[in-house]
Structure 1
């Protein structure tokens, strides 16, 4: 036997209570994020809106069955059925459209998530707090609210759920029918299975995107924007690693410093930037995948050549010098470039990577002394 308590619906004080409820709703919604926060930017907001659409559409679509079976058993009025159909299948599309047209899509979508909680509370009370649909809806709403704004947002969602329950009681009266029929159990299965899978899929896609963004930021943090080569900080870290590896395993390696001299004083900064870009591309074309090239600063470049004796490195860098000196530049017709290159091979007498770099710098200085545009290897 089912236990049911019913209370009258409309009464003279309803309009006054409606005003109180509207004030509470306004207070909850007014606590939203600052629209000037970077996370609420148009791009981030639109991404949030698109992520929210699929869980809302599938969650409400499958949740319709849970509520509909109980409404059928309770012989609910036709207007309540119409509201259920409109909310379950019309609201996801309307919410998506409203958020996309908004000037602050992130803020609007968060408010729409709170409206989902309000309506969730309404339907929970409307089905007499039937245990299985009630627990499912509360769990799914908590999951959605957590994804939208964390623990504090869950608390705001709970306030909206309570308000929705009050609205239902005012309209339909209070009832409590916790018993679960076999039909209700079967109707809840689609939501139990499909909605968590949908949330998992959305979170998986988000994790993939975050991984891609992380890799992009890592690349930007270690890359020189003008040349596409590694920046000095990252290259220096790699030089220390190569030095330690050579010392531990007794392998050969060479380090080269390259000084680019161009007649760009009469052509300006645009031509100077083009020189840096083209030199960077030329270095990348002429090195192996295992070689590590970077911009050391200004017009100086640096190259690590693992498993390469200084004599072999001399041949590679001489070929590189010849190709760079023959480059043509679209921004400066007739601009000429020359290279001075100093090479130092690894040997066990070096104290650290800085000492190795110093030997290459001494060889570079020697190349400049001998008249520039040449490659010089450090003795020994």
Structure 2
């Protein structure tokens, strides 16, 4: 009993049994933008080197150098701030990716379509658009790169330069080697996050959000399996249905918050008192169900009597005057039962009998 009191005195104990998934569009959009943040910072930083090595050999004005510095080292952080502050971060990041493609095409024209740096720029844009936006965004990126490069080449009258100097070759290697590995690592982290979400969703599909025990749908699935296994192996088993006495009165008198605490108390008490192999489920509202495989009715009654005894001395810390009591219906598995629902019906009738006999008691199905 001290363990139960200690549990409810710990602030936020209930949070351990719930999983909260933020499903707001803004949150998902921000995660989408976050995936492109690091690749853009590193990728454009690496792209600065080969472009700068080509600009050194060309008679370009200082404006182009300023634009290169802004694009390589300021734009990645500005793009992140734009996505962060936008009402729809995903839409903002899609715009950022298209802008990346547009500028990459411009730089290809400025350096005269030098083969190796152009390949590096095209590779980075292709990886980003295909990896973040799929084939549709990839196609849009290709069109933007091709269009912007041809338009800029015509307007700027930049000379074609298909020869890659040794300096440019070495300056391009970081982009060719580091960027694909970085994007692969980001993709791996994203896959891990998705797997964690999948596992959490799986837990949510099986567990009751308030108590953490099995919900009714999954508990009935386990009941069916236990029923078939016990019949096949000719193993004793007992089914318990448990109802909090006068639960509606608790809600009406003390409030629904206290009613929720009462449900948590009974859940934790069952977990502390029963065996780890006993399968506890929240059957609905204030009703619980327990599958006790390998347990005779006498053993099940002895276990649930310990629950009754603990409730006799337990008090909610904030409401010591509130007395919690439960009614229990117990049903042993018999050879005459051909379906698990017959077992469940038998326990339900025993629970009704316990309520009709005055509550705060355990009745066994005839």
- State the TM-score, normalizing by the size of structure 2: 0.82
Structure 1 unaligned residues grouped into runs of 5+: 1-37
Matched, 1:340 2:327: yes
Residue among 256, 260, 284 paired with 1:297: 284
1:224 counterpart SS class = coil
Shift of 1:250: 4.0
Give CA deviations for 1:307-356 in whole Å, capped at 9, x if unaligned. Answer: 33333222211111222343323565533232221222334543122122
Give the Cα separation in 2 of the matches to 1:247 and 1:66.
74
Residue among 32, 50, 60 paired with 2:44: 60
Matched, 1:255 2:242: no
Residue among 263, 271, 276 paired with 1:276: 263
Give the Cα separation in 2 of the matches to 1:365 and 1:103.
55
Matched, 1:357 2:344: yes
Match of 1:10 in 2: none
Aligned residues between the structures: 342
The change in CA–CA distance for 1:358 and 1:41 in structure 2 (over 3 A counts) is closer
1:125-144 aligned within 5 A: 125-144=109-128
The change in CA–CA distance for 1:189 and 1:252 in structure 2 (over 3 A counts) is farther
1:1-380 aligned within 5 A: 41-74=25-58, 76-262=60-246, 263-264=249-250, 265-329=252-316, 332-378=319-365
Give the Cα separation in 2 of the matches to 1:191 and 1:348.
72
Match of 1:20 in 2: none
| Higher mean C-alpha displacement, 188-197 vs 99-108 | 99-108
The change in CA–CA distance for 1:39 and 1:261 in structure 2 (over 3 A counts) is closer
- Residues 40 and 106 of structure 1 are in contact (CA less than 8 Å); yes or no, is this contact kept in structure 2? no
2:283 counterpart SS class = strand
Give the Cα separation in 2 of the matches to 1:375 and 1:61.
72
Give the Cα separation in 2 of the matches to 1:269 and 1:77.
72
- State the TM-score, normalizing by the size of structure 1: 0.80
1:337 counterpart SS class = coil
Shift of 1:371: 3.7
Structure 2 unaligned residues grouped into runs of 5+: 1-21
Give CA deviations for 1:348-374 in whole Å, capped at 9, x if unaligned. Answer: 543122122122223323434544322
The change in CA–CA distance for 1:300 and 1:100 in structure 2 (over 3 A counts) is closer
2:100 counterpart SS class = helix
Give the Cα separation in 2 of the matches to 1:196 and 1:245.
52
The change in CA–CA distance for 1:72 and 1:289 in structure 2 (over 3 A counts) is farther
Give the Cα separation in 1 of the matches to 2:184 and 2:291.
45
What is the alpha-carbon root mean square deviation over aligned residues? 2.7
Give the Cα separation in 2 of the matches to 1:346 and 1:65.
76
Give the Cα separation in 2 of the matches to 1:222 and 1:39.
19
Give the Cα separation in 1 of the matches to 2:59 and 2:335.
89
- Residues 40 and 107 of structure 1 are in contact (CA less than 8 Å); yes or no, is this contact kept in structure 2? no
The change in CA–CA distance for 1:362 and 1:126 in structure 2 (over 3 A counts) is same
- Residues 136 and 192 of structure 1 are in contact (CA less than 8 Å); yes or no, is this contact kept in structure 2? yes
The change in CA–CA distance for 1:325 and 1:222 in structure 2 (over 3 A counts) is farther
2:328 counterpart SS class = strand
Give CA deviations for 1:285-309 in whole Å, capped at 9, x if unaligned. Answer: 2233332211212332101123333
Give the Cα separation in 1 of the matches to 2:47 and 2:356.
81
Give the Cα separation in 1 of the matches to 2:277 and 2:332.
16
